[in-house]
Amino acid sequence: MHKVRGILPGVVLAALMAGFSQIIINLGLNQWIGASVLALFLGLFLNTLSFEKQRFIEGTELTRKYLLRLAIILMGATFQIKQVVEVGKISILVMFFTLLTAFLGGHILGKVLKIDWKLTALISSGTGVCGGSAIAALAPTIEAKSDQISYAMSVTFLFDVAMVILFPLVGHILNMSDIGFGLWTGTAINDTSSVVAAGYAYSNIAGDYALIVKLTRTLSIIPIVIIYGYIYQKNHQNKLGIKQIFPWFIVCFLGMVLLRSVGIIPNSLGILLSKISKFLMTMALFSVGFNTDLKSLRKLGYRPMMHGVILSILVVIVSLLVQMMLGQM
């Protein structure tokens, strides 16, 4: 009972802030920012206020650590393998080059700018895969700190806000087809809310296609988490067993994808689990912000921001160039 009393205040605070974030987003901000990112910033803001924070630390630490994993698992109910196969026929080559740019380019930029490899990995995964979801999936695997997670989230969010405005304008200037624009948006913009906003600003067809491409792109979380799990364990000279290299929550994620694909999880339940996943993610990211050491965040400086901006621009350009070569515009 004492343990529950220690945890409860932080969990309740995270749940309340997640609900508050969703309410604010539903008032009309959903075209600019997702509830999870808003919750992250709310956590950072509360961190700056003078009140007794210690009673909330244990619960928010538990929320940060475990709800990120649970949210990723439930996200698997969003996917059906047949959708991935259909979209993959057109988008797989574009995704390959954007992911290669994000991770190889991110590694090189990280070395040049002398950025900690964990922060480099988080920014690269957020840029290459799917923004906050990828950062959230990778963070526990490499044991990233709260300040590193917060910084990586902030970098990808700021870029996405700019792209929601610029992408439709550039698409019309280039006279892109609906499918071409959807493919470009789905492979080059990070967060799902930003992909949806930019895609549907162009056309309904572009929005639908961009969202499917984005969800397909999200599946690359699986090999990325496994690879980084291997690198992390090897760097720490740990015994490289399958349990260490292949995190259990990714196995559960794959199980959810399989259950959704064969129809054991019906569409109505899949939609419900997706909503629960987003709420848990929002709770977890509030807790990340609330537990971030702001002094450490300031010490990270401007170089990670440069890293994220340069890398994002490279991914946007590469996605466009590959489509031009494939004649998909």
Give 162-221 pLDDT, tens digit per residue: 787 788 889 888 889 898 898 899 888 887 767 877 887 788 788 878 877 887 787 788
Question: Residue 179: how many CA atoms within 13 Å on its side-chain side?
Answer: 9
Candidates 273, 276, 283; CA nearest to 18 is 283
Give 212-262 pLDDT, tens digit per residue: 788 778 778 878 888 887 777 777 655 545 555 555 766 787 788 888 888
Q: Quote the Cα angle for 42-47-53, to 5°.
A: 120
CA distance 222 to 238: 21
At residue 305, the pLDDT reads 85
Per-residue pLDDT at 80 exceeds 60: yes
Per-residue pLDDT at 83 exceeds 80: no
Q: How confident is the model at residue 29 (pLDDT cuts 50, 70, 90)?
A: low
Q: Quote the Cα angle for 102-245-71, to 5°.
A: 70
